[in-house]
Structure 1
């Protein structure tokens, strides 16, 4: 979406991170351990350097978790997905492990990132950078002609990525290495709809560096290439969950099925927003046919987020959890594809490697699993707090001298006398006082824009 908000000059994002308790510098013992393992990277015996793997990431990324190769087979397709083998570098119980547990995940801010692991690993020896020999957890997933899984293999392997690609360039012209990505991606999307998966695809607010040294806030939707690439990751996460459930041990990313009451409330909202909900269709089918660029569809998608509440990490060693599924994916699912940036993925990968080899995970690994849900919940809260505070700061700074002005907006949600609105011409989303109706186009007056408290508030202006 094209609405852009621009702010010139420096902003104190470091204060945002400090307020949220984001760890800053790495302790000396952690850096020393990272230097030691980075100097002599462990390489598995299995050689898969003949695979023409490529990575797809935002431009300039250095923490490259995944490399992919897609090929056609007699019965369908083969997905080769190499994941950075962080477990080969980070020993359980060591200084690196303890620091990663303290951090939980990489935190991204407009002025840089606070990594989960020291840069000599996350952007160096463990990253799947092009042309470099690297250890990886190599998933080989065979699909039939409809993109249903027929076989899965997982093992440690040495790999070498051929190229580092970005979403924009692949979107303009799909390179030969990825010529099957649109075909497989669309098939996986179709299977997801059949499972009842709920994939919102709503534009997100993002803060980016501006050309003049300032900052911009934009609403950014997911491109087709990003969506297809995400399907490869989701496929791998579903295969990981299946391994864990069959083996009776693991850590799942879980989300309860949509509450029937929330589904019915969304169904009642649809006609007023011009959304067609055919008889017998599930919410995932309805959502898949919407265009987030249309304000009323975006409003409906924002309301549909109520269907995806209660996400958690569920660790188990024994009986299958009472609720093992993920309502958004429409199947059991586990995080294993971003170990450079998310703590739980390293542990999930280690569990899967053991199970795929016909072994029980080691005692140290089993002992660590129960801690992961709490560690990840804490780091998720911290990251969400930083993300929201960064956007609030930029919004409040831009609008600080415009109090009293009237703007066009669309109502996203409404509760009694307080609503959430998104401005039509700027990438601003904020609370608004007044009785409003979701999906309604309204005029709102800016009543508060305070950078010190990072607060923006509107009131219904009428007219």
Structure 2
């Protein structure tokens, strides 16, 4: 998926899974140095009432939230219905700025974290739980302060009218993606499937890339163990992501019009990367018709097929180089996000991602025709470095969790052989990454002549929980 937000446990339909015994993730927390606990002062500030700001009363709108099962840090609630030939979207985002006072202890401690870190045995939140899972979270049947985007679109989901304002809202239901897939269809979701389908096609038509690489996820089992799951996104999750993407595009347009803001940017894929992907497509069983864009080809691939998963993993090279671009004096030179196929900004996950709070305040000020707050202007230049470090740390935690789980559950299978596909190569084919058919493990493989997409038997050479290292070699 094209840069829809921060890492969070996957919520799509599981394709393959493997159970593991009890695992202690404390070593990962220690080795990678999770942030210290919030100080008493920060916790006291988080428990204080929100700032008394002018708001529109939208509590009569029957918003709902849609998230992975068990979520408590609910950033977004939506109401999306057909409207003539188009759609009417009202998207409520947690108003975190109403709770975090600029320059406060809480402000400084959240800035040091940057994002929420997700681990199987508990999250390391960007904000204290009393805020992120309580007073600011858009939990059902609770009146909450929010920033609401009202977007009216035409039939192809092109915005016709956009409004952003502070409001009070009340979600009437907390739904999970599996519940929506099973048929939960409250009024608030009557337009979701139609909107999502149209939006996905529109993104592809303008050259965007909707990359659905299956994700490895570690989940707790009912009997005290763990399971390793390889997931692809469900349709409901992909449609819901398009709601956030459209809102981010509207935010970017507002900021570019005002000459102040914080964009999420991604340069176009290098021609040589596109050609490399095109060249390997036949060996992976992927048809690349003449004139087809990379996005169209990627969208045609089945992520549950091992060869398709290998192709999608290689396609991730087309989406490298994303970052944040701040500007305060007119549009920046780099203002485009190639994955989305349009200028784009992060504004929909402020409970879990620091940058969204600042970008949202810019949008509120520009829409209202008031000056952007000084505390926002002062922070914009430093946010790219802060978010890059936080995102890198989150990726390290996610990889370490999966590496440890793989090493534990394979520790007693050294010497066994498995069917696999090569998903990438390095060192002129002397090493690479293989995806096992069963169990759902992706790990390093050392051996001459590896080719992306190649099918082969591999032998497990090493599985060491102490080093979190799993290594294979070709069996032949």
Q: Same fold (TM over 0.5)?
A: yes
1:34 correspondence with 2:46: yes
**1:400 match: secondary structure:** helix
> Following TM superposition, by how much is the alpha carbon of 1:72 offset from its aligned partner in structure 2, in angstroms?
2.4
Which of the residues 360, 376, 388 maps onto 2:399? Answer: 388
Which of the residues 236, 256, 261 maps onto 1:245? Answer: 256
Normalised by the length of structure 2, the TM-score is 0.94
Partner residue in 2 for 1:78: 88
Q: State the distance in 1 between where 2:211 and 2:55 align.
A: 42
Partner residue in 1 for 2:149: 139
Partner residue in 2 for 1:54: 64
Q: State the distance in 2 between where 1:93 and 1:228 align.
A: 37
Q: State the distance in 2 between where 1:183 and 1:316 align.
A: 35
Q: State the distance in 2 between where 1:70 and 1:230 align.
A: 13
1:256 correspondence with 2:267: yes
Deviation readout 1:71-115 (Å, 9 max, x if unpaired) = 222352110000000011111111111111001011000001011
Unmatched runs of 5 consecutive residues or more in structure 1: none
Q: State the distance in 2 between where 1:192 and 1:301 align.
A: 18
Q: How does 1:220-239 map to 2 (within 5 A)?
A: 220-239=231-250
Which of the residues 163, 178, 183 maps onto 1:168? Answer: 178
Q: State the distance in 1 between where 2:15 and 2:363 align.
A: 42
Q: How does 1:21-420 map to 2 (within 5 A)?
A: 21-37=33-49, 42=52, 44-177=54-187, 178-415=189-426, 416-420=429-433
Partner residue in 1 for 2:459: 445
> Following TM superposition, by how much is the alpha carbon of 1:15 offset from its aligned partner in structure 2, in angstroms?
2.1
**2:413 match: secondary structure:** coil
> Following TM superposition, by how much is the alpha carbon of 1:231 offset from its aligned partner in structure 2, in angstroms?
0.3
Q: State the distance in 2 between where 1:297 and 1:422 align.
A: 11
1:6 correspondence with 2:16: no
Unmatched runs of 5 consecutive residues or more in structure 2: 1-13
Q: State the distance in 2 between where 1:341 and 1:461 align.
A: 44
Check the 8 A contact 2:16/2:231 in 1, yes or no: no
Report the RMSD for the aligned CA atoms in angstroms.
1.2
Partner residue in 2 for 1:17: 29
> Following TM superposition, by how much is the alpha carbon of 1:360 offset from its aligned partner in structure 2, in angstroms?
2.5
Deviation readout 1:231-275 (Å, 9 max, x if unpaired) = 000000111111111111111111110111100111111112121
**2:106 match: secondary structure:** helix
Check the 8 A contact 2:324/2:384 in 1, yes or no: yes
**Large movers: runs of 4+ above 4 Å:** none
Deviation readout 1:162-211 (Å, 9 max, x if unpaired) = 11011001101041321211011101111111111111101000010022
Normalised by the length of structure 1, the TM-score is 0.97
> Following TM superposition, by how much is the alpha carbon of 1:43 offset from its aligned partner in structure 2, in angstroms?
5.9
**2:269 match: secondary structure:** coil
Q: State the distance in 2 between where 1:45 and 1:303 align.
A: 47
Check the 8 A contact 1:243/1:356 in 2, yes or no: yes
Q: State the distance in 2 between where 1:51 and 1:42 align.
A: 21
Q: State the distance in 2 between where 1:2 and 1:45 align.
A: 44
1:430 correspondence with 2:406: no
Check the 8 A contact 1:418/1:432 in 2, yes or no: yes
Partner residue in 2 for 1:456: 470
